[in-house]
Amino acid sequence: MNLIRWEPCQEIATERNSMEKLFDDTFFGPSWVVTRPGEGYIPIDMYQTDDKIVVKATVPGINPDDIEITVTGDVLTIKGEIKTEEKVEREDYIQKECRYGSFARSIPLPAGLTADKAEASFEDGILTLEIPKAEEIKPKVIKVKAKKLAPVKTEAKK
């Protein structure tokens, strides 16, 4: 027979998680719903190297000239518009998932970047933005200098 220790705080935490999920699903939609580009959301990956922050945004079907990138303080904003090229006279679709229209995404950036030296490129629907770090926040390597210790004299016991 296994005994299980009863922890009342664990039950309270479980109830709280259930209430938070109910609240989120009610007011913000289910957490499994994925918003598509053209509905105001673009997926973003952000990582850092020793010298820069790299932001990659997936924006398929957009002309690079229709993308606007701004950095205000510590906030990066990417805006754009996906335009439709095809006019359909009769609109009784069987399925329609391709989205068109404007989108915008703002994300916080780490402090200490040099935004005026940022570079952006666009290839195969991926927008890549590289923002260099300011010199004062780049990692510095400090070498340790070891001092030679004087030899310890030991006296032999007689």
20-51 confidence digits (pLDDT tens):
777 766 655 444 344 444 345 789 999 999 89
Q: Measured between alpha carbons, how far is 60 from 81 in angstroms, rounded to an integer?
A: 11
Cβ atoms of residues 127 and 67 within 8 Å: yes
Cβ atoms of residues 29 and 14 within 8 Å: no
Q: Measured between alpha carbons, how far is 63 from 85 in angstroms, rounded to an integer?
A: 12
Neighbour tally for 155: CB within 10 Å: 5
Q: Splitting the chain (158 residues) into consecutive groups of 10 residues, what average pLDDT does each group show?
A: 70 74 62 44 89 92 89 90 71 73 87 90 94 82 84 69
φ, ψ of residue 41 to 5 degrees: the values are: -135, 135
Domains of the chain: 35-86+97-137 (2.60.40.790)
The DSSP call for residue 75 is E
Full-model pTM = 0.59
* Token pair in block for residue 17: 């998680």
